[in-house]
Amino acid sequence: MSSSNLTTWLADFVYTEGRFHSRLAFVCDDAGLVVQAGSTTKSINTISLKDRAILPGLINAHSHAFQRVIRGRTEYRTPNIKDSFWTWREMMYSVASRLTPEDIYDASRMAFLEMALSGITSVGEFHYLHHGPDGTPYEDPNLLAKQVVRAAQDVGLRIALLRVAYARSGYETEPNPQQVRFIERECEVYLKNVEKLVNDLSGSMGMAWVGVAPHSVRAVPLNYLRQVVQFAEVRKLPIHMHVAEQEAEVSACIEEYGRSPVALLATEGLLSERFTGVHMIHVTPKATGMLAAARAMICACPTTERNLGDGIIPADSFFKQGLRVALGTDSQVEIDLLEDARELEYHLRLQKMERAVLASTEDKGLSAIAARLFASATVSGAESIQARGGTLEPGSPSDFFTVDLNDPSIAGAFEEDLLSTIVFSQSKAAVKDVVVGGKRIVEDGRHAQQEEIVERFKRLQKKLWG
């Protein structure tokens, strides 16, 4: 390929092959693919990134973008009741019932802007708003999903639209009128709508694709769940599902099926390497072994799980069993995937009252734990949502972000401790450039559409809450 078709990014450090390489070039072609990482090659199109380090783009494996509108609105105590996930959910439902298609676009675009500014280049959107506020389907049953995809594309992020199956309120539970926008009672209807969305997004050139997301065992009965998983396996789609986030849902599953959620999924043959269980908090060592045997994945969302009082992901047990753990921003109470990465370790330190919980006996060097956590935020996230990315190896998409080595949060770090400093201490303000497919969507900490996105979101918030 001619050097005129190549772009060389010259930074002080490039993170590839599990470590930083100093003062070497990073080269991509005009198709947005990595040609060389760590090469000294220069090209006609050379971009200097002095005092910066290049790292692979972060992969956010679990997001509910519209929930950005309730940030700060749920931080109070309900009189005469124990606040929990279930009381928080009522506030979330109350706003979900009021959002128009354009509102969903504006809310999603704001969430995705914040993701881009923090170094995220791909997102898995667990999307369950399907119908109009009264439960009437839109003429295009994927109208709202496409609004979310449009928002991601306008910001410049890759998106896996994980279309949620939601059939009921729960086992022997009366229908909840606040869930009418979610419900597709017939599996055939849900699968038809997924198929249509797959076809409609087929020309997105790797920027948007589809996965299935049976919401939870409580929301999707077993026969329905079997059909969804079979559909996804035949078409090789990612499968995401909320599993064991709350003790109450574990108890309800045992009451209905005589088994815990993980045991149900395992004994029914529904676990596979395509399956990602989100919020796997209330699981036993035996259940962890079942997940490992199936080569299933975990997605932890520590910031949200902490905010909701869900509990602590047993990441140490998962890693010991060889399970891959991805990360998600979930409810958007804070959008900082590196914060989620460090919380994976820090929550365990508080629980066990010891340090370096996620280190293994084979680990050597300062960056061992940081490398494991950074892999969760990149490589494992990419595997979970089937994104091409998470690394900067030749042939992979040129999706990366840069950090300012002079930012006060990481200034003074050396090559050997730079990754640990970034993972455990970096402020989002240190992120300066974000590139997706070779195109810079954030430059010097700013997005080209930033002011307009923020202004429209402020108007939305005023409409909802003013």
Task: Give CA–CA dist 364/91, Å, rounded.
Answer: 47
Instruction: Please state the φ and ψ torsions of residue 252, each to the nearest 5 degrees.
Output: -65, -35
Task: Give CA–CA dist 22/293, Å, rounded.
Answer: 40
Determine whether 330 is an active site residue. Answer: yes
DSSP state of 324: E
* Burial 368-406, CB ≥16 within 10 A → b, else e: bbbbbbbbbbbbbbbbbbbbbbbbbeeebbbbbbbbbbe
Task: Give CA–CA dist 170/172, Å, rounded.
Answer: 6
Task: Single out the catalytic residue among 62, 242, 279, 447.
Answer: 279
4, with CB counted inside 10 A (0-12, 13-18, 19+), is exposed
What Rg value do the Cα atoms of the chain yield, rounded? 22
Task: Single out the catalytic residue among 103, 106, 330, 404.
Answer: 330
Tokens representing 185 are: 């009672």
Give the β-pairing of 275-278 and 239-242: parallel
User: At 225, which helix (H) or strand (E)?
Assistant: helix 222-235
Number of residues that this document lists for the chain: 466
Task: Give CA–CA dist 298/303, Å, rounded.
Answer: 15
The position carrying tokens 């006060």 is 408
Determine whether 279 is an active site residue. Answer: yes
Task: Give CA–CA dist 204/460, Å, rounded.
Answer: 28
DSSP 182-232: T----HHHHHHHHHHHHHHTTTSTTSEEEEEEE--TTTS-HHHHHHHHHHH
Query: Which amino acid is located at 336 in the chain?
Result: D
Active site residues: 279, 330
